[in-house]
Amino acid sequence: GQQLNQSPQSMFIQEGEDVSMNCTSSSIFNTWLWYKQDPGEGPVLLIALYKAGELTSNGRLTAQFGITRKDSFLNISASIPSDVGIYFCAGLRETSGSRLTFGEGTQLTVNP
Amino acid sequence: GAGVSQSPSNKVTEKGKDVELRCDPISGHTALYWYRQSLGQGLEFLIYFQGNSAPDKSGLPSDRFSAERTGGSVSTLTIQRTQQEDSAVYLCASSLVGTSGAYTQYFGPGTRLTVL
């Protein structure tokens, strides 16, 4: 199926640094979700966005639903070692019912 | 527990054998989804159940794959005549439908399938 273009594929940062990752598509999405997946576990929802232009925070995480409805970004501020994991964006298109389309993930490594 | 559970957590099988993977969704969630995640990849949609409606099977990769959901709760994903390319983590998710945040899907821990 169609994948979202998620970048970067991987990031290596120092503890305390800020992180930014994004997803883009040629299609319009009605909902954007950001998930984090730890090894051996299923993805856990971090932030859900339902309206174009929406900016939502969850602790040190901030995500925005792009105005064009074709992109979204996730920022993590003041990273800590437990932020390590794979971050996935997921989008819901009007024509796809409840089928989520996932990005390929951003592998984040935080060095203490 | 209150979350989505899946069993088994790991399954190793020989090529050509059939396997069954089980998912117990969150109680009260009417929607149930199956995804496949290959190593280092994102999630690939397989099938979606919503209440008593006909399931959306459009993501199933071949007719060797099938799934059912009995009593609107537990679901079983069956792969017949397994092939090595079926090796992946199979994730189940459930969600409410018809409320705000309806598309917030909650995932189970997955079943890691290895076909030798």
Single-letter code of the amino acid located at A6: Q
Average pLDDT score over residue span A88-110: 87
Residue type, A56: T
A33 neighbourhood in chain B, CB within 8 Å = 103-105
Please say if the pLDDT value at position B9 is more than 80.
yes
In this complex, the residue of B4, B44, B105 whose CB is nearest that of residue A1 is B44
Name the minimum distance, in Å, from the CA of B54 to any CA of chain A: 13
Q: Do B97 and A98 touch (CB under 8 A)?
A: yes
Query: Which residues in chain A are closer than 8 Å to B56, comparing Cβ atoms?
Result: 97-99
The shortest CB-CB distance from B50 to any of A6, A88, A98 is to: A98
Q: Tokens 């899946």 identify what position?
A: B6
Q: Given this model, what pLDDT does residue A16 score?
A: 97
pLDDT, position B100: 46
Tell me, what's the pLDDT at A2?
55
List, for residues A47-81, the tens digit of each pLDDT value: 999 999 999 999 999 999 999 999 999 999 999 99
CB pairs under 8 A between A and B: 67
pLDDT digits (tens, 9 = 90+) for B40-87: 778 899 999 988 888 989 899 999 999 999 887 999 999 999 999 999
Per-residue burial over A24-63, b if 16 or more Cβ lie within 10 Å, else e, is: bbeeebbbbbbbbbeeeebbebbbbbbebebebeeeebbb
A99 to B4: CB separation less than 8 angstroms, yes or no: no
Burial tier of A4 (Cβ tally within 10 Å: 0-12, 13-18, 19+)? buried
Residue B116 has, within 13 A of its CA and on its CB side, a CA count of: 4
Distance CA A94, CA A92 (A): 7
Q: Which residue of A has its CA nearest to B50?
A: A98
